[in-house]
Amino acid sequence: MDIDPVRGDITTQDVDAVVNAANQALAGGGVDGAIHRAAGRRELQEACQQLGGCATGDAKATPGFGLTARWIIHAVGPRWRGGGKGEAELLASCYRRSLEVADELGAKSVAFPAISTGIYGYPPEEAARIAVDTIRSTPTQVELVRLVAFDEATYRRYVDLLG
């Protein structure tokens, strides 16, 4: 599997599936809000409502609607609570479950945002390490994983980790 760091907008990635950093209700701001706007808010909201929410550490899929990507995989990352509340395992689970869902869909290329590093407050350095380590160690049929960084600092972290 190729793991490519890129700096850019996850909603414009030409991949089979994009991962949405969602909340448990599958509706919110940040990456989630941007994906809803780009995909078509009403259609995506209706599809998310049919999923009945999603637990922290899990992932569920909807169609991509107006995105270039065929599917959106909604992954619910943990809120940072100091590191002693199972946050690392829950974050790793987001990446593992997203790849498992991608395999179920037949997706060969997936773009991930930096899950939980925004309003959920996960330390960016640790989150990037968990993302890279988990993606590398998860058996999958996905051939290309794109780590999409919204800012230069996140992009540099990915580049350094992927060496």
Catalytic residue at 58?
Answer: no
Q: Which of 9, 16, 32, 103 is catalytic?
A: 32
Q: Mutual orientation of helices 87-105 and 124-137 as an angle, nearest 10°?
A: 40
What is the strand order of the sheet 59-63 is part of?
Answer: 2-7, 144-149, 109-112, 17-22, 71-76, 59-63
Residues recognised as catalytic: 32
